[in-house]
Amino acid sequence: MKPLLRATPRLDTTALIYLALAGVLAVGAVAVAAGGKNLFSTANLVDMLTRTSLTGFLAIGMTLVILCRSLDLSVGYTAALSSLVAATTMDGDVGRIPLAVGAVLLVSGLIGAANGTIVAYLKVNPFIATLGTGLIIKGYLDTQYKGPAGDVPAVFQQFGYTRIGFIPVSALVMLALAAAAIWFLRSTRTGHHMYAVGGDTEVARMSGIRTGRVLVAAHVLCAMFAGVAGLLLAARFGTGSAEAYTNLYELDAIAAVVLGGTLLLGGKGGVAGTVAGVLILAVLDTVFNVMQIDPFAKDVLRGAVIITAVAIYARRQLDRTARRPRFKLAGSAPTPPDTIRDSREVKPS
Amino acid sequence: MTRVRGDLVALLRWAANPTGTVFVLLAAIFVAIFFANSGFFEGPSFMAFLKQAAPLVILAAGQYFVIVSGNFDLSVGALVGAQVVIAARLIDGEESRTVPVLLIMLAFGVAVGLVNGLITTVLKVQSFITTLGMLLVLYGAIKLWTGGAPTGSLSESFRQAGRMGIEDVPVLGQIPWALLIMIGLGAGAIALMRTRFGRILMASGDNERAAALSGGRVDYVRTMAFVLSGVSATVAGILIGGYAGVSAQVGEGMEFTVITAVVLGGVVLGGGRGSVVAAMAGALTIEALFILFNQMALPSTVRPTVQGVIIIAAVAYAARQRHRPGKTVPKATAIATPS
């Protein structure tokens, strides 16, 4: 492993992840071909891309909060609530679709604002804060909705099912939003601030960044992405469903973000990698499906693949504390970060 | 007079620090339960409460080791479930198999912890992902092995630990084995944190590099923390299996409850701060909260909401103290100087 990494020191993390995606695709295609089927048949491609949209929405939002060294475990609940808000607001009336979309974005944005405020200003650890808000929403859903509610007009259901060629519209929307998020992180001030806050909140604060606002913004955006996921759920089911939260979407989203090379400790990574992470998970699921692997075995394989993938490129990332050594070796010339990373890897553990 | 005031200030400050908060919260919940139903504090029913709470308290002690060293263990819920299913399947009602199966379970718990620990420390995978993957693997494996519904049954002697105890004790009625195991393991955990191992564990959560430079074997203690967590999940599985019997849902979601409990005890996620006693008290607090919900006949659907609000409020309160040390110090001196 190590000589290989040494030989390609300039390959950046995102490129490596797309390479991993290509690898997964290749191995998957061979495995499927061995069973006498074609992974790249239209039906399989559609299946693969359909899987990406839901996790994709959640994972893009999750990338933003994770970049800020935060976390959002409430997205599954937010999505479920959003699907209900959408379906009950539309209530079968085509004219109310814009209103419903607005209502969903407002509600989910408010949830995000609450999350962000609790994390940024009440200083509650994001794991606990968003687990707590998730529980609060769960309680509301369980009390308020005993079963599916609302009615989604056929026009809006198109969002869940229509496709152009073999690409579902929802996947296109997901990719468009991903592109927007990439632009946001690379070209806006708040986007840059997110990296700064995730890298080191204290340093960011001393550099004049209002860290609290940045965190709140990330949480609001993350929850709104969950809201969009809720819209997609409503479009697919044709009704609002409180049960959606039982699928543990948040864990899938986090897995995709980390597979995409974003550091859980913040400050490093990006949406491009996340999209690749989402694609890797989708390819795996499709391959398992086509090969008709026992659904329970899927979980086992998924878990193993996630760990293996992250282990393979964990060596390239800064080590888990995400800190650079504060003091260089006395007398030595300033060393570029790559060398420092390498010297740490060599250190026997 | 001043001394009394000083003591009061000290007491208030203790109550306000994150470790103290959990005991205050626990006391408050107990008072609320007392007003809802004073019979709760009679020996037998209080013992029953402790018996029911024991597994979570033990899990909290195990999780504490992992969290204080700067990691997470999300796989404990799945491991508890796996252990119960393994026990039922392998024992299958045969008394004679109880002890060998217990040994197998212990070995399995240690193995899972070891794998978690080695992947996290040697392969440098973030523990959140390692244990999330382990969670998926364990849930999948259980269901794959049992075909969806657990089969077999536990032996009577296996169920002793979770259900029975020393009978006919005056006032208390029954002293559950679970309680004794909980106290024993709790004392062991406290003792362990006072050893060299415990101090290195704490140091590696606080500042990994400093701990390593001071000669602490950071990777070793972190791996052992995962092993301890695996063992605690095994013991919890034995108790829960004995107490509640076998079902496919055992342990589901428990990882979040137990992490909440540990954090409620003032232990900081990210490591390096907090005490194991407070972590266990956090678990007791959560169980007491569930009892309070029962006593108040709160509809089961509303409970998550109340639970969420209380958790956020408690942790926010504790965090307020931790993040503003500057404000408490001048206040203390202001009181001290006039005297």
pLDDT score, position B12? 66
Is B4 inside any structural domain? Answer: no
Q: If pLDDT is split at 50, 70 and 90, which confidence band does B142 have?
A: confident
All residues of chain A having their beta carbon less than 8 Å from the beta carbon of residue B305 are 135-136, 138-140, 143
Q: If pLDDT is split at 50, 70 and 90, which confidence band does B277 have?
A: very high
Mean pLDDT, chain A, rounded, equals 83
- Contact yes or no for B132 and A310 at CB 8 A: no
pLDDT score, position A70? 92
Domain, as residue range, for B55: 20-323
pTM of the model: 0.82
**Dihedral of the alpha carbons of A156, A161, A164, A168, in degrees to the nearest 10:** 110
Please give the C-alpha separations between residue A349 and each of A38, A243, A261, in angstroms, as whole numbers. 44, 45, 23
- Closest residue by Cα to residue B311 from B62, B56, B21, B71: B21
All residues of chain B having their beta carbon less than 8 Å from the beta carbon of residue A325 are 209
Whether the predicted pLDDT of B33 surpasses 60: yes
Whether the predicted pLDDT of B131 surpasses 70: yes
Q: If pLDDT is split at 50, 70 and 90, which confidence band does A11 have?
A: low
- State the best of A205, A259, A299, A306 to mutate against chain B, taking most chain B CBs within 10 Å: A299
- Contact yes or no for A122 and B320 at CB 8 A: yes
Round to whole Å and give the CA distance between A337 and A12.
13
Is B32 inside any structural domain? Answer: yes
Is B178 inside any structural domain? Answer: yes
Q: Contacts from A332-341 at CB under 8 Å and sequence distance 24+? A: A338/A9, A341/A316
If you average pLDDT over residues B22-31, what whole number do you get? 89
Domain count, chain B: 1
Which one of A265, A306, A349 has the shortest CB-CB distance to B121? A349
Whether the predicted pLDDT of B178 surpasses 80: yes
Please give the C-alpha separations between residue B76 and each of A171, A276, B274, B302, in angstroms, as whole numbers. 35, 29, 20, 26
pLDDT score, position B2? 60
- Contact yes or no for A118 and B316 at CB 8 A: yes
Round to whole Å and give the CA distance between A318 and A268.
9
All residues of chain B having their beta carbon less than 8 Å from the beta carbon of residue A299 are 136-137, 139-140, 143
Whether the predicted pLDDT of A3 surpasses 80: no
- Contact yes or no for B305 and A139 at CB 8 A: yes
Whether the predicted pLDDT of A12 surpasses 70: yes
Is B29 inside any structural domain? Answer: yes
Is B5 inside any structural domain? Answer: no
Whether the predicted pLDDT of A60 surpasses 90: yes
- Partners of B176 in the beta sheet? B165
pLDDT score, position A112? 96
Q: What is the DSSP string of B49-86?
A: HHHHHHHHHHHHHHHHHHHHTT---TTHHHHHHHHHHH
Q: Degrees (nearest 5) of the Cα angle B286, B131, B302?
A: 30
Whether the predicted pLDDT of B327 surpasses 60: no
Residue A224 neighbours by CB under 8 Å, 6+ apart = A61, A105, A108, A109, A112
Which one of A123, A296, A349 has the shortest CB-CB distance to B320? A123
pLDDT score, position A343? 40
Whether the predicted pLDDT of A252 surpasses 80: yes
- How far off is chain A from B147, nearest CA to CA, in Å? 8
Tens of pLDDT along A332-341? 444 444 444 4
**Any idea what DSSP says for residue A240?**
B
Is B93 inside any structural domain? Answer: yes
Is B6 inside any structural domain? Answer: no
- How far off is chain A from B172, nearest CA to CA, in Å? 36
- Contact yes or no for A135 and B315 at CB 8 A: no
- Contact yes or no for A129 and B315 at CB 8 A: yes
Round to whole Å and give the CA distance between B117 and B110.
10
Please give the C-alpha separations between residue B325 and each of A314, B82, B240, B321, B329, in angstroms, as whole numbers. 36, 44, 41, 7, 7
Tens of pLDDT along B206-251? 888 888 898 888 999 999 999 999 999 999 999 998 888 787 778 8
Tens of pLDDT along A83-128? 999 999 988 888 889 999 999 999 999 999 999 999 999 988 898 8
- Contact yes or no for A139 and B135 at CB 8 A: no
Mean pLDDT, chain B, rounded, equals 84
If you average pLDDT over residues B104-124, what whole number do you get? 93
**Any idea what DSSP says for residue A266?**
S
Q: If pLDDT is split at 50, 70 and 90, which confidence band does A264 have?
A: confident
Tens of pLDDT along A293-318? 887 788 888 888 888 878 876 666 54
Round to whole Å and give the CA distance between A120 and A129.
10
Please give the C-alpha separations between residue A7 and each of A20, A65, A338, in angstroms, as whole numbers. 17, 34, 13
pLDDT score, position B316? 85
If you average pLDDT over residues B78-102, what whole number do you get? 87
- Partners of A149 in the beta sheet? A240
At residue B224, the 3 state secondary structure works out as helix
- Helices of type H across B17-163: 18-36, 43-68, 76-91, 98-121, 127-146, 156-163
Tens of pLDDT along A183-230? 999 999 999 999 999 988 899 999 999 999 999 999 999 999 999 999
Round to whole Å and give the CA distance between B52 and B57.
10
If you average pLDDT over residues B292-312, what whole number do you get? 84
Whether the predicted pLDDT of A72 surpasses 70: yes
Q: If pLDDT is split at 50, 70 and 90, which confidence band does B1 have?
A: low
Q: If pLDDT is split at 50, 70 and 90, which confidence band does B16 have?
A: low
CATH number of the domain that residue B174 is part of: 1.10.3470
If you average pLDDT over residues B306-328, what whole number do you get? 72
Greater confidence (B317 vs A65) lies with A65
Terminal Cα-to-Cα distance of chain B (whole angstroms): 10
Which residue does chain A place closest to B268, by CA atoms?
Answer: A125
Is B202 inside any structural domain? Answer: yes
State ipTM: 0.79
Query: Looking at B2-11, B102-111, B240-249, which range is the least confident one?
Result: B2-11
Q: Are B56 and B192 in contact (CB under 8 A)?
A: no
